[in-house]
Amino acid sequence: MLRSESWESSTAPESLVVQQPFRTQMQGVHRLQEQLFTTRAATFALIEGLGREQFCCQADPDFSPVGWHLGHIAFTEGLWILEHSAGLPRFAPEFGCLFAVDGLPKAQRTALPPTGDIYDYVRAIRSQVLAWLASYPHSVEPRLWQFLIQHESQHAETMGWVRQLLCGTKQEAPIAAGVDTDEMIRVEAGEVLIGSDAPEALDNERPAHRRYVDSYWIDRYPVTQRQFERFIRAGGYRERHWWSPRGWQWLLSHPVRSPLYWSGADDRPVMGVSFFEAEAYARFAGKRLPTEAEWEKAARFDPLSGQSRTYPWGEAFPDGSRLPLTCGTTAVGSYPRGQSAVGCEDMLGNVWEWTATCFYPYQGFVSYPYPGYSAPYFDDAHYVLKGGSWATGSSVLRASFRNWYEPRLRVPFAGFRCARSL
């Protein structure tokens, strides 16, 4: 049998030894080209068919128009690759002023150049970026490219939210899960590896570190609309004692009576809830929200090996057999192949999940690629969401990924699951 060690230990011709690093480099470049291409295709798919008005419309004061996100994705790619890496002067600076993160206040982002000009700008930057990548493969900094791909995916998801706010949800037939949605799983006390040092890990996921987590129970599935309906019917939105003081204050100024998206009392996860609504439901159910560490442990800890996995199921890149690659949520329990070692399901790719944890850096945190990416949000005013929704790009789906929003925000594709101490 031919084994790789025997090949390596035999004397290889000089030419092969020299070519090896170049080949690995080219494989890296091809993989990147493919990721850039897939990510861009997903971005375009999320905004397909939107008219000019929807392109420029600010559907909600918290979210910029779709057209701005598109320009901003291209601007950011040009900034890091063409300006910082390649040392080129800024391309189309008049667009840069519009699409830089500190360029225009959100309210002024509706006055956009013609749609066709934005698409031309996006394509022009991408073709220069690809040309740079092909000519200078040695310059590839994996971390920077992985950042850019995930930056695009995150903005694309926000574009999907805006689209949903503008176009609403399609009313579909009630969807039932064939599982016991009240089931909880007991996770034993012990240490777990949290965070990640992989090249795709963003600054706030690093450094990976061990953490002791006490025993707890956690829901096997995210809370479904059917379960949440019990809260609504029991007057959950009217009874103060289920709400935290801050949550009640929020409810008084936002007199809502159901989640932002409600497609009926079926077994799809609740989505479009604020942290406060999630917290109130949890108290109503006699439970609480999981901490980020509890959520992450349930998603990636393998009790047999004591190791943490990248994904709930192991190391295989996410695909349609493990999570929904659909255009909407699916009934909980529809992807048993996506379950974690302890048995939690729908951890990645159905809805984002609120946790009880404020967004803070891990000890040893270093900003990357710029201080403004994570650090301004370490402020006690943002909570961590885990998991990712059906609209989240695969490059962002992993157990260590940390999203964050203010607790008041009804994050369009966010729901939650509950936990309980022993």
Q: How far is the CB of 69 from ligand AVJ (least distance, A)?
A: 9
For ligand AVJ, which is the closer residue by CB, 151 or 410?
151
Q: How far is the CB of 404 from ligand AVJ (least distance, A)?
A: 6
Q: Is the dihedral of CA 352, 353, 359, 363 positive or negative?
A: negative
For ligand AVJ, which is the closer residue by CB, 112 or 192?
112
Encoded one letter per residue, x for contact with ligand AVJ by CB under 6 A and - for no contact, window 363-382 reads ----------x---------
Q: Considering only residues 146, 154, 225, 357, which one is a binding residue for ligand AVJ as defined by CB under 6 A?
A: 154
Q: How far is the CB of 43 from ligand AVJ (least distance, A)?
A: 13
For ligand AVJ, which is the closer residue by CB, 206 or 220?
206
For ligand AVJ, which is the closer residue by CB, 155 or 283?
155
For ligand AVJ, which is the closer residue by CB, 59 or 341?
59
Using CB under 6 A as the binding rule, the residues of this chain from 396 to 415 that contact ligand AVJ are 403-404
C-alpha to C-alpha distance for 155 and 5, rounded to whole angstroms: 44
Q: How far is the CB of 137 from ligand AVJ (least distance, A)?
A: 26
Q: Is the dihedral of CA 153, 328, 374, 360 positive or negative?
A: negative
Q: Is the dihedral of CA 318, 320, 323, 326 positive or negative?
A: positive
Q: For ligand AVJ, which stretch binds (CB under 6 A), given 105-113, 130-138, 152-160, 211-219?
A: 152-160
Residue 313: CB partners within 8 Å, gap ≥ 6? 322, 337, 338, 339, 340
Distances (CA, A) of 169 to 72, 84, 382: 26, 41, 27
The partner residues of 421 in beta bridges, in order of sequence, read 216
Q: How far is the CB of 107 from ligand AVJ (least distance, A)?
A: 16
SS3 241: helix
SS3 308: strand
Q: How far is the CB of 255 from ligand AVJ (least distance, A)?
A: 26
CB atoms within 10 A of CB 107: 9
C-alpha to C-alpha distance for 38 and 394, rounded to whole angstroms: 10
For ligand AVJ, which is the closer residue by CB, 154 or 355?
154
Question: Taking a C-beta distance cutoff of 8 angstroms, is the pair 413, 351 a contact?
Answer: yes
Say how many residues touch ligand AVJ, by CB under 6 A: 7
Q: For ligand AVJ, which stretch binds (CB under 6 A), given 40-48, 49-57, 109-117, 149-157?
A: 149-157
Distances (CA, A) of 8 to 13, 16, 20, 198, 306: 11, 11, 12, 26, 32
Q: Considering only residues 35, 158, 274, 339, which one is a binding residue for ligand AVJ as defined by CB under 6 A?
A: 158
Q: For ligand AVJ, which stretch binds (CB under 6 A), given 23-31, 147-155, 249-257, 347-355?
A: 147-155
For ligand AVJ, which is the closer residue by CB, 318 or 393?
393
For ligand AVJ, which is the closer residue by CB, 153 or 334?
153
Q: How far is the CB of 89 from ligand AVJ (least distance, A)?
A: 23
Q: How far is the CB of 155 from ligand AVJ (least distance, A)?
A: 6
The partner residues of 419 in beta bridges, in order of sequence, read 218, 288
For residue 64, state whether it binds ligand AVJ (rule: CB under 6 A). no
Q: How far is the CB of 373 from ligand AVJ (least distance, A)?
A: 6
Residue 272: CB partners within 8 Å, gap ≥ 6? 259, 260, 261, 262, 410, 411, 412, 413, 414
Half-sphere exposure of 127 (CA within 13 A, CB side): 5
User: By beta-carbon distance, which residue lies closest to ligand AVJ?
Assistant: 154
Q: Considering only residues 109, 126, 151, 322, which one is a binding residue for ligand AVJ as defined by CB under 6 A?
A: 151
Q: How far is the CB of 151 from ligand AVJ (least distance, A)?
A: 6
C-alpha to C-alpha distance for 400 and 200, rounded to whole angstroms: 11
C-alpha to C-alpha distance for 70 and 129, rounded to whole angstroms: 16
Query: Which amino acid makes up residue 316?
Result: A
For ligand AVJ, which is the closer residue by CB, 218 or 384?
384
C-alpha to C-alpha distance for 190 and 181, rounded to whole angstroms: 26
Can you give the binding site for ligand AVJ, defined by CB under 6 A?
151, 154-155, 158, 373, 403-404
